């Protein structure tokens, strides 16, 4: 209950402090959107005077003339798709209430659930091994979730501070979007980079280049220095293994593969370590087992559970 109070209290305080500023910046952006569109049209007209499209072949001119129509059609299609997705998302709002309730009962009765699962495993060394395996898998997955949330918080704070220092308009809105989209690998950083550079280009091309350079340096530092260390510290994977897992996951499964790559590799690593430990313990049992003539084994698989628990 203390954890729940701290969590929702922090969210409430953050919303109380940030929502007024977010609302004012969002309203300001909506008011200046027509001016941004007019600025874009002026730039397009200026470029057309420099490029002089009448010198292009007829096929190229037709393709260039059809770009605005295709762009508007694509924008309308994406807008309708986003609206349909938003309507579908509203159907999942009850889960926002059910998830904390289910999580509370799962956490409260975790010991009984674990004991019930272990009762399905034969007594002795195998049950001890499965118990240790479940504990380590739980620790690894929890560390992965904590590292992912910490990465989102870190990127959001750094982007907000950086946008304020660079003097990017709507720095708070863009920083919050950067933190939220950081949870979506590969796609999220690209989206926020495109939005930030586009907004900065409305004011100055130099500002847009500075924003692009800032986000590029941040991306390199986050992807290849900070994030691998965050994951490796809790999941106990080498930073090189984290980078290779992300690259392999992107190649095999796209965005879903990026999401599942690190926890899958971590769980497989834990399982492999426990299998090696169980195999080594079994070889020790075979080596010290009594001769066929009789005797009692030093390590019996029917020892009372909880006493002299073997550890690898």
5-14 pLDDT, tens digit per residue, is 888 888 888 7
- pTM for this model (two decimals): 0.62
Domain boundary assignment for the chain: 127-286
Q: How confident is the model at residue 312 (pLDDT cuts 50, 70, 90)?
A: very low
With a cut of 70, say whether residue 295 has pLDDT above it.
Answer: no
53-75 pLDDT, tens digit per residue, is 556 666 665 665 565 555 545 54
Percent of the chain with pLDDT over 70: 70
Q: How confident is the model at residue 158 (pLDDT cuts 50, 70, 90)?
A: very high
With a cut of 70, say whether residue 229 has pLDDT above it.
Answer: yes
With a cut of 50, say whether residue 304 has pLDDT above it.
Answer: no
The number of beta carbons lying within 10 Å of the beta carbon of residue 211 is 23
pLDDT at 154: 92
Which range of 23-27, 125-129, 147-151, 199-203 scores highest in mean pLDDT? It is 147-151
Q: What sign has the CA pseudo-torsion 114, 278, 311, 305? A: positive
- Residue 237 φ then ψ, to 5°: -115, 145
Q: Across residues 263-271, what is the average pLDDT?
A: 86
pLDDT at 302: 43
pLDDT at 214: 93
pLDDT at 13: 87
**Of the given ranges (28-42, 148-162, 294-308), which has the lowest mean pLDDT?**
294-308
pLDDT at 41: 67
With a cut of 70, say whether residue 196 has pLDDT above it.
Answer: yes
């Amino acid at each position: 209950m203390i954890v729940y109070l701290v969590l929702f209290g922090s969210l409430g305080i953050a919303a109380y402090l940030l929502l007024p500023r977010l609302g004012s910046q969002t309203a300001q952006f909506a008011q200046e959107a027509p001016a941004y569109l007019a600025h874009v049209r002026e730039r397009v007209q200026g470029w057309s005077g420099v490029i002089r499209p009448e010198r292009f072949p007829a096929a190229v001119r037709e393709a260039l003339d059809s770009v605005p129509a295709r762009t508007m059609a694509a924008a309308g299609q994406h807008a309708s798709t986003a609206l349909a997705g938003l309507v579908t998302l509203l159907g999942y709002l009850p889960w926002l209430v059910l998830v904390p309730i289910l999580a509370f009962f799962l956490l409260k009765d975790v010991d009984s659930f674990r004991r019930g699962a272990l009762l399905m495993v034969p007594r002795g060394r195998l049950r001890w091994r499965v118990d240790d395996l479940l504990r380590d898998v739980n620790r690894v997955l929890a560390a992965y979730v904590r590292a992912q949330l910490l990465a989102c918080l870190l990127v959001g704070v750094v982007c907000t501070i950086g946008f304020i220092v660079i003097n990017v308009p709507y720095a708070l809105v863009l920083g919050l979007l950067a933190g939220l989209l950081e949870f979506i690998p590969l796609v999220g950083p690209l989206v926020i980079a495109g939005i930030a550079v586009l907004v900065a280009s409305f004011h100055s091309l130099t500002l847009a280049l500075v924003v692009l350079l800032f986000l590029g340096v941040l991306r390199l530092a986050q992807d290849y220095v900070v994030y691998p260390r965050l994951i490796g510290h809790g999941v106990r994977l080498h930073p090189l293994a984290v980078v290779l897992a992300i690259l392999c996951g992107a190649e095999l499964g796209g965005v879903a593969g990026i999401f599942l790559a690190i926890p899958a590799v971590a769980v497989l690593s834990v399982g492999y370590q426990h299998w090696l430990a169980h195999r080594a313990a079994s070889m020790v049992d075979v080596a010290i087992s009594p001769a066929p003539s009789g005797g009692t084994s030093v390590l019996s698989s029917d020892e009372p559970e909880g006493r002299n628990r073997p550890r690898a």
